[in-house]
Structure 1
Amino acid sequence: MTSVSLRLKLFATSAATILLALLLAGIAISSLFSDHVKRNLTNDLHDQFIRLVAQLDPTIEIPTLKSPMANPSFSIPYGGYYWQITDPASGLQSRSRSMWDAIFELPDLNVLDGRAHTIELIDPEGTPAIAWVQRLQFDLEGGGARTLDVIVAQDLVHFDIAIAKFRNDLFVFLAILALALFISAWIQISLGLYPFKSIRSEINAIRTGEANRMDKKHPPEVMPIVHEMNKMLKNQEQSITFARTRASNLAHSLKTHLSVMQSESESLRSSGQIEHADAIEKLGQDMHSIIDHQLRLSRLKTRTSADFLSTPLRSSVQKVINALQRTPKGNELSWHIDIDTHIHVDIDSSDLIELLGILLENATNWAKANVNIFATKQDQTITLNISDDGPGLTSAQTEQLGKRGVRLDQQGTGTGIGLSIAKEIVAMNKGKISFNTKEGTGLQVKVTLPEVT
């Protein structure tokens, strides 16, 4: 199952929260604005109603106004503002010019108890409108009273346009605000996760050997992780040191017993029991080879798949050659190096020196006059080639190279574990090693290691 980035999880949560909050805020603000505009519209209708009633002359048979309304929209056909006055007793009626030839159909105002009401209806243009309606009773000078139904209306087209425009503007504003909040959330999350980036750099420094503990100060929230990591590193270091010490002590104690076995072998040989002496001597050599092999392995750096190391190749090769040139045989040879100074390989520096020491010492022992060393790049790997002009090996002998305890030079003093150690080092560092030779043409060793870019 693929894990999702913590940064993306936090950002997705923040983004969802921001969107939900802005959505609810947008709905609330739009509703409040709509109510506010409608309330202002109703108040305006009430003011127009008061002005209309003030201009009304109830004594005229056909009820009409003493003077036109100040708002010119009442005088323009379908102007958006309308008034209508009806005498419910006679059915006589007058209306604004904006009504043209239309008539408002009113509800039974007696049912409305004769009080002022705002109702929604359809205006002369067939669009929704809001109206202020009231049945009024006027006292006449000669006695008696007259009842008139008065209505002032305004279409809702401008209201709907204003609401739609406000919602569009609100959407643009909320979109810009959402973008700003997204950026702010991303910056805040990045700042919050920055200590983990610093912790990662410290862990990389520990892997590459540049540090052995985490010493930087971090926020209190992550310091417990740092403390636990330092405790783990300390315990691991103590465990490794203890294991190496035990291995070394065991090896030295076994070597003491091997020395006794060697003395016994010499005693048997002196007494004429040559066959038994050879058997004991062979057994001692095998045990000595095993002990040396394990001791050298215990000095290698243990690697995990997450380790990242960087060691310059050319300077490491030069360091080993400088040491070999101090020997009589190494000083007589011509060393040819063709390695770019910028090449770095993913291997611990001490392990690389150990590997090069084995391979170059082997080349020194067999070369007649020349040792060639060059490196090539391919597909994020480095191939190191070491060749000598020695006598070479047969195919059968080549197959034996790298097997622990196998010595092709029976006259030497070695234990036959050098190339075996080399294979162990290469394998531990995700590399490959191969041997190519023909009898009489020398030995070529190819080592492939991951490149550090």
Structure 2
Amino acid sequence: MKYSLRLRVLMASGLILLISVGLIVFSVMKSFERVQLDLIKKELAVGTNVLLTAASIVDQKLVMPHRMPDERFNQVESEVLGLVLDRKGVVLWRSHSSLDEILYYSVQFDEKKMDFSRYSGPEGSYFLYDVDVVLDGVPLTFLTMIPATEYEEMFVAFRSNLLISLSLTALMMMIVLWFGMHWSLIPIRKLADNLQRIESGHTSRLEGVYSRELVALTDALNQLLNNERQQRERYRDAMADLAHSLKTPLAVLQSVQHSQTMQKNAGCEEVGIIIKEQVHRMNQIINYQLQRAVTRQRGLVKHQTDVAGTVGRISRTLNKVYYDKQVELSTDIEEGIQFSAEEQDAMEVLGNLLENAYRLCLQQVRVCSQTVSQDGKCWVLCQVDDDGAGVPENRREDILKRGVRADSRTKGQGIGLAVAMDIIDSYDGTLTIGDSELGGASFKLMLPI
């Protein structure tokens, strides 16, 4: 699958932005989590120090003041909870803020432990700060807690806001990037449009002012187009001169042959037949050389030729030529299918294939054409079948060579298919010969779209 340069850049930029947004969200959320947990830890540590400062031991029993210095422990609706437990986990004291809380916390006494952790139990989720001390010989666990619900809600809200903000930012960046790409690719799009105009034959060179980076390319392409056009003209002029120089002697030979055939002398008739054959051969050679000179110098301009229309014009002519044979032609041509070739070249190739089919068939000829995919490319397939004698497998490659004919009993010089092959090669196409379902030969022509 082919993608435009703009789409490639946008896809790559979108992928980079997506990865960047993901990394930013991960980094920011980790930093936010670390900062929030540090703040909660410090808050709980301060509360634990308040409990330690207020605690005293009298007769091996814990004594706590009725009101704590930190008012958060005295308020019933406060979220900061305070508890003091003995070694077995029995609650010896709890703050007013924790009176309605049920805690199933398992104490593992360790005199040197100062632990900050997150606790989740049936009663909910809490952040805990646990300090184990031995106060006047009595092992005690001072525990401060705060519900994790508020933190979780804040964490989710912050993450949602961060994702929305970064997504909007990324979308704005993509829009700006798209406009930037659109503006930056204007010279390339202009160059592509001009190349399409050249291919369609509307102009012969790249016109307009291009950016500094494309000037060297456009100048080189214009020079290439100019050289190619001049070379084609030189070849065409040379072949035209050759054809013109041969017209007069050919005309003389034809007139002599005509005058000789008007006479009833048998010897003159034989001379006339010989002259007629040689004139016909010279005409074929001239046409072949002219066609080869043009097709081997195919330029950059790409033409489109309607397959159905071309087959129709050729078949109408051949039906007149082979009127006595009453050939039955059937067609199965995909609607709107076109050859990427000049009309003259398409007429030459299909004309050769259809003329051979008409000449060698018994009565039936079939033409099928459709688009196919092969080797990752799109092709136009045109298949010409007949019900004749067919082509032996050991001769299929040979008859595509100049001067070799499939049927030596018929007239011709064997250069028709060679001309067709020259044209097909110039368009990077292929021509293969196989067996037809009608019983004769099957010629499969494939040209790239």
Smaller-chain TM-score bracket: 0.5 to 0.7
SS at match of 1:339: strand
Deviation of 1:375 (Å)? 0.8
CA distance in 1, matches of 2:160, 2:417: 72
1:240 counterpart (206, 228, 253): 228
CA distance in 2, matches of 1:384, 1:360: 10
Deviation of 1:248 (Å)? 2.1
CA distance in 2, matches of 1:396, 1:82: 103
Query: Which residue in the other structure is 2:350 paired with?
Result: 356
Deviation of 1:402 (Å)? 2.7
1:223-234 to 2 correspondence within 5 Å?
230-234=218-222
Query: Quick one: which amino acid aligns to residue 230 of structure 2?
Result: F
Contact in 2 for aligned 1:358/1:422 (Cα 8 Å): yes
CA distance in 1, matches of 2:284, 2:243: 12
Query: Which residue in the other structure is 1:432 paired with?
Result: 431
1:295 counterpart (261, 269, 293): 293
Tell me the alpha carbon deviations over residues 302-359 of structure 1, each in whole angstroms, 9 at most, x when there is no partner: 79xxx9x86542222113334x26x952666556232234262553252323311333
Q: 1:215 to 1:180 in 2, by over 3 A?
A: farther
Query: Which residue in the other structure is 2:94 paired with?
Result: 98
Report the identity percentage. 11
Flag the structure with larger Rg.
1
Q: 1:233 to 1:294 in 2, by over 3 A?
A: same
Query: Which residue in the other structure is 1:329 paired with?
Result: 321
CA distance in 1, matches of 2:392, 2:64: 129
**Gaps in structure 2 of 5+ consecutive residues:** 55-62, 85-91, 99-113, 120-126, 132-141, 255-270, 374-379
1:209 aligns with 2:200: yes
Tell me the alpha carbon deviations over residues 241-295 of structure 1, each in whole angstroms, 9 at most, x when there is no partner: 11111212333455577689989x99xxxxxxx9xxx9xx899889747633532
1:38-437 to 2 correspondence within 5 Å?
73=74, 80-81=81-82, 97-98=93-94, 127-128=128-129, 157-158=145-146, 162-163=150-151, 165-175=153-163, 177=165, 193=181, 195=185, 202=193, 205=196, 209=200, 230-254=218-242, 288=286, 291-298=289-296, 300=298, 311-322=305-316, 324=317, 329=321, 334=327, 336-342=329-335, 344=337, 347-350=340-343, 351-363=345-357, 366=359, 372-375=365-368, 380=373, 382-387=381-386, 400-406=398-404, 416-427=414-425, 428-434=427-433
Tell me the alpha carbon deviations over residues 352-381 of structure 1, each in whole angstroms, 9 at most, x when there is no partner: 2331133334455x3699562321669646
Query: Quick one: which amino acid aligns to residue 316 of structure 1?
Result: T
Query: Quick one: which amino acid aligns to residue 308 of structure 2?
Result: R
Q: 1:301 to 1:245 in 2, by over 3 A?
A: closer
SS at match of 2:146: helix
Contact in 1 for aligned 2:129/2:143 (Cα 8 Å): yes
Pairwise CA RMSD: 6.3
Q: 1:383 to 1:227 in 2, by over 3 A?
A: same
CA distance in 2, matches of 1:171, 1:311: 61
**Gaps in structure 1 of 5+ consecutive residues:** 54-62, 84-95, 101-119, 131-153, 267-273
CA distance in 1, matches of 2:414, 2:116: 107
Query: Quick one: which amino acid aligns to residue 432 of structure 1?
Result: L
Contact in 2 for aligned 1:19/1:178 (Cα 8 Å): no
CA distance in 2, matches of 1:81, 1:445: 97
Contact in 1 for aligned 2:80/2:145 (Cα 8 Å): no
SS at match of 1:348: coil
CA distance in 1, matches of 2:34, 2:207: 54
CA distance in 1, matches of 2:163, 2:129: 31
CA distance in 1, matches of 2:392, 2:148: 98
Query: Quick one: which amino acid aligns to residue 209 of structure 1?
Result: S
Deviation of 1:98 (Å)? 2.6
Query: Quick one: which amino acid aligns to residue 415 of structure 2?
Result: I
Query: Quick one: which amino acid aligns to residue 321 of structure 2?
Result: K
Query: Which residue in the other structure is 2:263 paired with?
Result: none
SS at match of 1:158: strand
Deviation of 1:18 (Å)? 2.9
CA distance in 1, matches of 2:13, 2:76: 62
CA distance in 2, matches of 1:40, 1:127: 11
Query: Quick one: which amino acid aligns to residue 352 of structure 1?
Result: A
Tell me the alpha carbon deviations over residues 19-49 of structure 1, each in whole angstroms, 9 at most, x when there is no partner: 3433443345445555766788899999x99
Query: Quick one: which amino acid aligns to residue 21 of structure 2?
Result: I
Q: 1:331 to 1:162 in 2, by over 3 A?
A: same
Query: Which residue in the other structure is 1:26 paired with?
Result: 29
CA distance in 2, matches of 1:207, 1:261: 40
Deviation of 1:447 (Å)? 2.0
Q: 1:203 to 1:175 in 2, by over 3 A?
A: farther
Q: 1:379 to 1:293 in 2, by over 3 A?
A: closer
Q: 1:352 to 1:178 in 2, by over 3 A?
A: farther
SS at match of 2:333: coil
Q: 1:328 to 1:345 in 2, by over 3 A?
A: closer
Count of residues in Structure 1 that have an aligned counterpart in Structure 2: 364
Query: Quick one: which amino acid aligns to residue 425 of structure 1?
Result: I
Contact in 1 for aligned 2:381/2:447 (Cα 8 Å): yes
